[in-house]
Structure 1
Amino acid sequence: MFQNKLVNIMLMILMTIALLGVVTVLLVRSFSTPEANGANPTIDEIIENSWETEEITTNLNGRGYVQARFRIHVDSKEAREELEKRDFQVNHIIIHELAGQSEQELRTQEGMETLEDNLRRKIDDILEAGTVIRVYMTERVVQ
């Protein structure tokens, strides 16, 4: 490669360090999720670490409206308590997301899954203690 052996050795060391860094990041990310650790929560743990919204009625994108209720599952009791305190922010996020949905989107399983995933990410962004594991739509009336 290069004429100088010292440059060759330094390049190989740098590539090795970079490769180890990438492998470390991938391993940490894969083992940081509860499912990867084999720690599937029991139903009692899900109920203990979740919070249910009031029934929310709002307009959809178009002429329809929706009545819905959601259960938000978080990873700790502290996160659940924070979620309860931030109920107005959570409702704000839900209403904004629903306002961008159409009747047809909310009538499909794929549309509901997309909505739940978007809500999970956006609610997770406002939490300081813990993370949102999943958002469940527990009631839904679309008209």
Structure 2
Amino acid sequence: MKKKLVVVMLIMIIAIGGIGAGIIFLLNGSDEAKAEKEPTADEVVKASVEIPEIITNLKSEGNAVKLVLNIETDSEKAKEELEKRSFQVKDAVIDILSDTNADELDGKKGREHFKTLVKNKVNNYLQDGKVKEVYITSFNLQ
């Protein structure tokens, strides 16, 4: 009886140790994978395009916005294409803003929604890559 109890306890200790080691391995492995995938600042700059200042009226009466965007792509090839399509990006931004009220752009949530709309619309134009992120580098709502 004692031998069975000792064997069961050893099996449980080994199993708990194995599960713990597995969890530690998974957690450490995912951190390393994330660290490897993060681009450096130089890589971000090489794949980014600045969209110069855009000033346009909003849907809400008497409101206007002035902003500057920086769009990060997933490759240098996508960046080159985006530079050639900058007029389409400006048109898309003006289109989105002309259908947006001032209160929809107010606050972080509103600007995040706007950036998502721009990202999705610009991605429809691109053939050689995708937009990873849209940054608002200057924003003035009047």
Q: TM-score, normalised by structure 2?
A: 0.73
Q: Structure 2: state its 5+ residue gaps.
A: 1-32
Answering whether residue 67 of structure 2 is matched by residue 105 of structure 1, we say no
Superposition deviation, residue 38 in structure 1 = 4.8
- Counterpart in 1 of 2:40? 42
- Counterpart in 2 of 1:135? 134
- Counterpart in 2 of 1:119? 118
SS in 1 for 2:37: coil
SS in 2 for 1:118: helix
Superposition deviation, residue 60 in structure 1 = 0.4
- Bigger proportion of residues as helix: 2
- Could you tell me which amino acid in structure 1 is paired with residue 110 of structure 2? G
SS in 1 for 2:80: helix
Q: Distance in 1 between matches of 2:54 and 2:105?
A: 14
SS in 2 for 1:128: coil
Mapping for residues 16-55 of structure 1, pairs under 5 Å: 38-55=36-53
- Counterpart in 2 of 1:85? 84
Give the count of matched residue pairs: 109
Q: Distance in 1 between matches of 2:39 and 2:84?
A: 24
Specify which of 45, 59, 62 is matched with residue 61 of structure 1: 59
Superposition RMSD in Å: 1.5
Q: Distance in 2 between matches of 1:84 and 1:142?
A: 26
- Runs of 4+ off more than 3 Å: 35-38
Superposition deviation, residue 102 in structure 1 = 1.3
Superposition deviation, residue 98 in structure 1 = 1.0
Q: Max radius of gyration: which structure? A: 2
- Could you tell me which amino acid in structure 2 is paired with residue 60 of structure 1? L
SS in 2 for 1:41: coil
Percent same amino acid at aligned positions? 36
SS in 1 for 2:60: coil
